Structure 1
């Protein structure tokens, strides 16, 4: 299962191999183009300075909330309130559509551009917290990576964002450390 909010949270990219390199993808127009296309959203890329600052603050608050939950705690009220403020950016109402073939209700909003994007990111995160299992929201055990992921494993025991990349890397590091300890004894 994919989440817009997790893509957004992982825009603070870190080199999982341990080089120490880090990249803030909120400043990358091509990253935004990809994310907006993937999630069927539209906004002028790149965001203006004020919007960029708001996006960075929202990501920081959401990250603190994830860190608190991953540690078995509760997010701070001020971070929850900031999320609720972002949700206010996308007011919506129901609209009846259809005709002879039947009717249906659809949720519509007058919001567009960056307010809509920020609101949808906040809504995705709120939905994850409210309807997902918060015990499945995890941070990769590879300290060089810190990628956030939703653990869909049956027993909720997944430790790495990707078993082939971070998982293998961490297993190799542990193996080498054990070999070093054996050699030093």
Structure 2
């Protein structure tokens, strides 16, 4: 599932192979530009230091809420408040558009800047929590990866963000561990 909020949360990258490397892609040249372009958002690059700090704080709150949601725990009220603060900064207005066979009314925002970007990310995340089955919002079982994904499997039993990468790696690790124990 392509989702603005998931992509934003995964901007904190961890090497799924277990090297211990990680990267904050919010600081990676070109990543923010590609992110803004993909999701049709507008903000000044690079963000000002206080905006960059706010982006990191929002991501941290969203990841904490996701960890709680995926484990059945109650999220911290401060994290919920941080998400609500970001959403409060996005004024929206209705826009009427003509479609084949009728009309459609949707909400849109014309705001630009990092406050608007954070608000749109927060709204996308809140919609994910409120409108989707939260049990499908998962964190990869590979502890080296920590990628957040939406489980689109029929059985809702996916454990890894990618069966070919993390799934195979974890199977190989379990096999080698059993083999070593049996030697």
- For this structure pair, what is the TM-score category when the shorter chain's length is used for normalisation? over 0.9
3-state DSSP of counterpart to 2:73: coil
Rate the CA distance shift 1:18–1:91 in 2: closer, same or farther, 3 A.
same
SS in structure 2 opposite 1:105? strand
Moved segments of 4+, more than 4 Å: 101-104
The corresponding residue for 1:141 is 141
- Give ranges in structure 1 of 5+ residues lacking alignment: none
Residues matched between the structures, number:
181
1:89 maps to which residue? Answer: 89
Gaps of at least 5 residues in structure 2 are none
- CA distance, structure 1, for counterparts of residue 46 and residue 10 of structure 2: 18
Query: Which residue of the partner structure matches residue 48 of structure 2?
Result: 48
Give the Cα separation in 2 of the matches to 1:108 and 1:3: 17
What secondary structure, in the 3-state scheme, does the structure 1 residue paired with 2:30 have?
Answer: helix
Q: Name the stretch that deviates more: 149-158 or 29-38.
A: 29-38
Cα distance between partner residues in 2 of 1:115 and 1:13: 23
TM norm structure 2: 0.93
Q: What's 1:179 paired with?
A: 179
- Separation in structure 1 between the aligned mates of residue 107 and residue 77 of structure 2, nearest angstrom: 28
2:58 is matched with which residue?
Answer: 58
2:116 corresponds to which residue?
116
Distance 1:45 1:76, change over 3 A: same
| Structure label with greater radius of gyration | 1
* Cα RMSD, aligned residues only: 1.6
What is aligned with 2:11? 11
Question: Kindly tell me: are residues 170 and 94 of structure 1, through their superposed partners in 2, closer, same or farther at Cα, counting changes over 3 Å?
Answer: same
**Contact 1:29–1:45 (CA under 8 A) maintained in structure 2:** no
Structure 1 pair 110–34 and aligned structure 2 pair: CA distance change class (3 A): closer
